[in-house]
A and B are shown apart, each in its own frame.
Chain A
Amino acid sequence: MGATLVCLVGLNVWFGVLRPDRVVLEIRLSRGVLGAAIGAALGAAGAMMQVATRNALASPSLTGVSAGAAAGGLLVLAIGEPSIPGPAAALIGGCLAGGATALLSGLGRGGPVRLALAGAGISAIALSMSMALLVLSDPARVQAGVHRWIIGTLSGTLPSDLLSCLPWLAAGAAVSAVGLPHVRVLGASSTLARSVGAPVTRARLALLSGSVLLVVASVSVSGPIGFVGLIASHLARRIRRRPEADPGWVGLSAVVGACILCAADLLARTLLGTRELPVGALTGLLGAPALLVIISRTTLAAGGSATAGAR
């Protein structure tokens, strides 16, 4: 998978280079690296959310965290307050949305489908808020934000974007590192985890807040790119042919996520020739088929575990 990723980033850089201009190369390279980083963040976040909530459908887009983060970021953009950094507002929005979804779905007791439905309701509220902000605020100021915060695209990203999201990615990785060693026992059962002396609550909190930080880092650069985390984590499970969760699975999910986003961005950039498609729309198209496959292959009864039986 690693080799595939390197190939995809290389292809991203090379494809469509008419003039081997240094500036073009730099922009493309940074965009390729950025796509890989965001895809990896989304993939890892999806896997960690699934372990922490023991829920096969937990993922950045289905829990409403992406939409909440986008609404928060857009709010700052619309107010036009330069002293608040966009990612910080996005973090607050993402945490609020994720917390509300968790509460409404009964804190993990409601089952996977209920979590996804509560997340959809929260997403709808966040999306209404974003649309209202777009209508109400000065068009000149928010026009740039439309694509970035609502649809999700990598177009127009610069090398500086990579630098600006790096601290958030690092923070997310550092926080999740606290919980990662306990992924294996957490994925099995919380009773087992307690009986072997794992700090269950702390590990869960670390995984959840780490994944929210990773999602916020990605949303603040590219906007909400849906379903990457969900598809990556389930694909990683299939590739490993092992249903149980462990840190290697989280890592593989990150790599798969990076591959998915790089491939999708390559398609989005080249499919139409002169114009670009928003990459969020391409991954969104995969949403329904992916969800259907997951629904039909996974045990989704209420209170069921996160294990996807390879039946």
Chain B
Amino acid sequence: MTAALRRATAAPGAAAVLLLVSAAALGIGPIPVPPGQLINALSGAAEPRFVLAVQQLRLPRTVAAAGAGALLAFAGLLLQAVTRNDLAEGTTLGIAPAAGAAVVWSGVIGPVLPGWAGIAGEWWVRYGCAAFGSVLAVGLILLLHHRLSARIGRSASAGAETLVLIGLAIGASAQALITLGLAFGNASTQATLVWLTGSVAPATLTHGAITGGVGFVIIVLSRVLCPALDLLRCDALTAHGRGMLVRNPQAAAAMIAALSVAAAVGAAGTIGFIGLVAPAIARRCVGSTHHRDLIWLTPLVGAAVVLLADLVGRVALAPIELPVGIITGFLGAPVFLAILWIRRTR
């Protein structure tokens, strides 16, 4: 297959795979819905138990999982361009844990303000707090990286790995904040723990709609960023030479990434490593690093991966349900280590 054909077919192919996986996610479960009945069940024309299973039980979590996966993958793509580092993404840079910590602490200060009850609170409080935490974490990382970059390793590779180390440190502190927040607050700890592991089971249709909608808008609008992202992946000198003021697109792309992570965390908690796995798969698929080839493909791959992980977690050990975050942890951490291993020769 020629390169051009691969580039042209990758995104439609991924969309088809995503459709197939969503159909499987809607159909498979304790009440199996035959494929022919799926459309009827979605429109409410099928048997009542099929309608109940698809519309009430499986549709919210399917939409939430797909939206969260797309957003996390997209955020990973942006962060990797901004930091010129294929290890960067929402979890390794500590952004998702920071968002989780902000949500947990909103539950601690909750009783003071109406509707602020952490994970059990109003949806806008949850999304707002997640956005606050993730934007704070991204700002902190960019600032620290800027301050430290003069002191840490001279080569770009060493600097990139140090950035991830800073992110991991921020993530560890955010994790400690989460533990402290759980110890301080006392309401709905079990639900919070499940949500923090990364689970789409408690997601309602509101959460799914918000995350899916936000994801769609962000990703469509970001199409205009592609040329800037391609330049950012080169070094700063090249970007300057092409007439770009690097600072601002860098900050803008990082903030968009932060908001994407926040929207994903709001619906599904901290699902790890998707921002690492999906761009890696997408780059292998098209054999190109141009963002115009990746910007549609990566979110589609991310959505399909999270949906598939959720399906596996739901079906593999039924009736016990494994949260999707555990599955992606098993899947993503080896990918992280593999990328690290491939980089060792550089």
Given contacts A110-B344, A122-B337, A302-B153, contact A127 B329 (CB under 8 A): yes
What CA separation (Å) do A118 and B340 show in the bound complex? 7
Query: Contacting chain B: which of A82-90, A129-137, A169-177, A234-242?
Result: A129-137
Count residues of B near A (Cβ-Cβ below 8 Å): 47
What CA separation (Å) do A124 and B333 show in the bound complex? 6
Interface secondary structure of B, over-half rule: helix
Query: Contacting chain B: which of A178-186, A254-262, A291-299?
Result: A291-299
Residue contact B344 to A125, C-beta cutoff 8 Å: no
What CA separation (Å) do A302 and B156 show in the bound complex? 12
Residue contact A226 to B179, C-beta cutoff 8 Å: no
Residue contact A280 to B326, C-beta cutoff 8 Å: no
Given contacts A116-B165, A125-B333, A292-B166, contact A136 B317 (CB under 8 A): yes
Given contacts A291-B169, A295-B165, contact A125 B152 (CB under 8 A): no
What CA separation (Å) do A129 and B326 show in the bound complex? 8
Query: Contacting chain A: which of B74-82, B170-178, B289-297, B299-307?
Result: B170-178
Cβ–Cβ < 8 Å partners of A18 in chain B: none
Interface 0/1 of B317-346, CB less than 8 Å to A:
100111101100110111011001100100
Cβ–Cβ < 8 Å partners of A302 in chain B: 153, 155, 158
Cβ–Cβ < 8 Å partners of A113 in chain B: 153, 158, 161-162, 165
Cβ–Cβ < 8 Å partners of A289 in chain B: 173
Give A120-161 interface residues, CB cut-off 8 Å to B.
120-122, 124-125, 127-129, 131-132, 135-136, 151
Cβ–Cβ < 8 Å partners of A151 in chain B: 179
What CA separation (Å) do A300 and B159 show in the bound complex? 10
What CA separation (Å) do A118 and B320 show in the bound complex? 31
Cβ–Cβ < 8 Å partners of B337 in chain A: 104, 118, 121-122
Q: Which single residue of chain A is at the shortest CB-CB distance from B323? A: A135
Residue contact B344 to A277, C-beta cutoff 8 Å: no
Residue contact B168 to A277, C-beta cutoff 8 Å: no
Residue contact A131 to B173, C-beta cutoff 8 Å: no
Cβ–Cβ < 8 Å partners of B326 in chain A: 128, 131-132, 135
Interface 0/1 of A281-305, CB less than 8 Å to B:
1111111110110011000111000
Cβ–Cβ < 8 Å partners of A288 in chain B: 166, 169-170, 172-173
Closest chain A CB from B122 CB (angstroms): 27
Binding site for B on A (CB under 8 A): 57, 104, 106, 110-111, 113-114, 116-118, 120-122, 124-125, 127-129, 131-132, 135-136, 151, 226-227, 272, 275-278, 280-289, 291-292, 295-296, 300-302
CB-based closest 3 A-B pairs: A284-B176, A128-B329, A281-B179
